[in-house]
Amino acid sequence: MTTVEGPPLQLDDIQGIVLRTRPSPYVGTYILLRVDDPGAGRELMGRLAGLVDSAANWWQPPLPALLNVAVTYRGLEVLQVPQASLNSFPEEFRQGMAARAEFLGDTGESAPAHWEPPFGTGQVHIVLSLIAADQESLAVVLERARQARTQLPGVQVVYRQDLYQLASGRTSFGYKDGISNPAVQGSGAAYPPGGGPTLKAGEFVLGYPDETGNLPPMPQPAALGRNGTFVVWRKLHTRVAAFRRYLRDNAKSPEEESLLAAKIVGRWPSGAPLILAPESDDPDLGADEQRNNNFDYASDPRGTVCPHGAHARRANPRDSEIIGDVDLHRLIRRSTSYGPPLPAGTLDDDGADRGIVFIAVNAHLDRQFEFVKSQWFNDGNFTGLDVEKDLLTGDNDGSGIFTIPQHPVRRRLHGVERFVTTRGGEYFFLPSLSALHWMAGLGS
């Protein structure tokens, strides 16, 4: 582990989810709230300010539970944040995720018209994220959150999504997830080796210089913006049976099927990266934090080991030759699994809702999350893949293509369908702890 230095961050003012990894295994829940009475909403913010976990001391053994809170643009309006302040938020956040659907590839089945209510309707104002190491600890934070809302009839629960880590420790598609995250300067945290350079804090926390050397545009006043950030929240349903059938139909043997699955992601199910384990899965490597992210793509310019179109290589091309600066498009991921696993070997859909709640933390929604989603996942041009989209998460319509470079002739898979459907999502502003107090004091 290497401790990452840099200008110190105000860790006790930054919400824990930004810099703190979640426990493993984990259980948790997201509670979405609508504020009908601005005064009640502000009162809730004040009460939560005392309960929310900060990023201070996060390098200590993980806390049993973590409570965090974030607000949509509509939520800020309802809380009566002054107009001048509202105007200082970035355009994409003000529009909200549903308005960005075409651009993000939320089309067809994933279009906002098909989202679960109340996503995309302006009725989601606040999200509470509760993540714990076990049910007992979760019950403790749930009770705290419930207490915070007592006698506030002007704040209604409009949606709840429970989550838990599958017994396999993997996502519903069968892969280990959440391995690679950027190291943040000044966090004082210890990061495993690899995964690219440590990044300036301003990529993930407002009020500090970012990779361009400038301060990111920050919502005003500073009491509201500083030490805050933006969170992408997306409920992504995974079509596991369809994905398994696709693998089976495009492989001649179980070995070929598992190699194809690895080529699609860039890692084997255990998490072992293809670059370090080109032939077969290596569970020891997958489980070894010191090695499983310690690689780049310099040795594989043609993608014959890890295709340029592999999900993880698209999401973070590391040192691959691409146009632009990779470090300007990094994301901190805090995604969690929901729903039951599809039993091993089952190739028919059982109708259950399963997938991940994708969570990304970034200071610039446009050049980080939106860029990765629209350019690197849903557009192939940056690596010469032309019309190809990410096979795993792209908005493919049944005529998608996936290229696997190999000797003597590359392999091209056709008929790629949509394996991930967006069931709803919102952009949130994740305020600092002191900004929660600031919001609470707005009415007075």
User: Which CB atom, from 121 or from 374, has the smaller least distance to ligand HEM?
Assistant: 374
Q: Based on C-alpha coordinates, what's the Rg of the chain? A: 21
Residue from 180, 320, 378, 421 in contact with ligand HEM (CB under 6 A):
180
> For residue 330, which of 360, 300, 310 has the smallest C-alpha distance?
360
> In the numeric block, which tokens belong to residue 316?
């973070």
Q: Is 177 in the site for ligand HEM (CB under 6 A)?
A: yes
Q: Please tell me whether residue 171 binds ligand HEM under the rule CB under 6 A.
A: yes
Give me the least distance between CB of 79 and ligand HEM, in Å please. Answer: 28
Min CB(265)–ligand HEM separation in Å = 5
Residue in 22, 42, 100, 373 binding ligand HEM, rule: CB under 6 A: 373
Could you tell me which stretch among 148-156, 160-168, 170-178, 297-305 binds ligand HEM (CB under 6 A)? Answer: 170-178
Nearest approach, Cβ of residue 84 and ligand HEM (Å): 32
What single letter denotes the amino acid at residue 357?
V
Applying CB under 6 A, the span of 65-73, 112-120, 148-156, 175-183 interacting with ligand HEM comes to 175-183
Contact range with ligand HEM by CB under 6 A, out of 56-64, 128-136, 366-374, 427-435: 366-374
Q: How far is C-alpha 106 from the geometric centre of its chain's CA atoms? A: 16
User: To which residue do tokens 């949606």 refer?
Assistant: 159
Which tokens belong to 160?
């709840």
Looking at 3-11, 205-213, 283-291, 367-375, which segment touches ligand HEM (CB under 6 A)? 367-375
- Which residue of 393, 396, 421, 432 would you call a contact of ligand HEM, by CB under 6 A? 393
338 contributes a contact to ligand HEM by CB under 6 A: no
Q: How far is CA 82 from CA 89, 161, 219, 360, 443, in A?
A: 12, 31, 12, 27, 10
How open is the CA angle 148-151-157, to the nearest 5 degrees? 65
User: What is d(CA 226, CA 434) in angstroms, rounded to the nearest whole number?
Assistant: 9
438 binds ligand HEM (CB under 6 A): no
Interatomic CA distance for residues 341 and 11, integer angstroms = 36
For residue 337, state whether it binds ligand HEM (rule: CB under 6 A): no
Question: Is residue 132 a contact partner of residue 141, using CB atoms and an 8 Å limit?
Answer: yes
Site for ligand HEM in 244-303 (CB under 6 A): 265, 267
Subset of 401-430 contacting ligand HEM (CB under 6 A)? 420
Measured CA to CA in angstroms, residue 258 lies from 147, 174, 177, 315, 422 at distances of: 48, 11, 17, 21, 26
Q: Half-sphere exposure of 411 toward its Cβ, with a 13 Å CA cutoff?
A: 13
- Regarding 316 and contact with ligand HEM (CB under 6 A), the answer is yes
Q: What is the 3-state secondary structure (H, E, C) of 164-205?
A: ECCCCCCCCCCCCCCCCCCCECCCCCEECCCCCCCECHHHCC
**Number of other residues whose CB lies within 10 A of the CB of residue 85:** 17
**How many angstroms separate the CA atoms of 35 and 78, rounded?**
7
Written as one string, the DSSP assignment of 114-142 is GSPTTTTTT---EEEEEEESSHHHHHHHH
144/373 with CB nearer ligand HEM: 373
Instruction: Please identify which residue in 130, 240, 372, 433 interacts with ligand HEM, judged by CB under 6 A.
Output: 372
User: What minimum distance in Å lies between the beta carbon of 353 and ligand HEM?
Assistant: 13
Among residues 33, 49, 224, 356, the one that binds ligand HEM under rule CB under 6 A: 356
Q: Which stretch binds ligand HEM (CB under 6 A): 22-30, 72-80, 167-175, 217-225?
A: 167-175
Beta carbons of 247 and 363 less than 8 angstroms apart: no
Is-cis flag, bond preceding 118, omega within 30?
yes
| Least Cβ distance, residue 374 to ligand HEM (angstroms) | 9
Examine residue 183 and tell whether it contacts ligand HEM (CB under 6 A): no
> Count of residues for the chain?
444
Least gap, CB of 222 to ligand HEM (angstroms): 29
For residue 185, state whether it binds ligand HEM (rule: CB under 6 A). no
Q: Taking CB under 6 A as the rule, does residue 331 contact ligand HEM?
A: yes
Check binding of 312 to ligand HEM (CB under 6 A).
yes
Residues 123-152 that bind ligand HEM (CB under 6 A): none
Indicate which single residue of 63, 126, 306, 315 sits in contact with ligand HEM (rule: CB under 6 A). Answer: 315
Minimum Å gap between C-beta 269 and ligand HEM is 8
User: Which member of 235, 239, 308, 311 binds ligand HEM (CB under 6 A)?
Assistant: 311
Dihedral sign (CA 284, 287, 290, 294): positive
φ/ψ of 423, rounded to 5, equals: -100, -5
62 binds ligand HEM (CB under 6 A): no
Should residue 361 be labelled a site residue for ligand HEM when binding is judged by CB under 6 A? no
Do residues 24 and 132 lie in contact, with contact meaning Cβ atoms separated by under 8 Å? no
DSSP-derived letter for residue 384 is T
- Which residues bind to ligand HEM, rule: CB under 6 A? 171, 173, 175, 177-180, 195, 236, 238, 265, 267, 311-312, 315-316, 331, 333, 355-356, 358, 369, 372-373, 392-393, 420
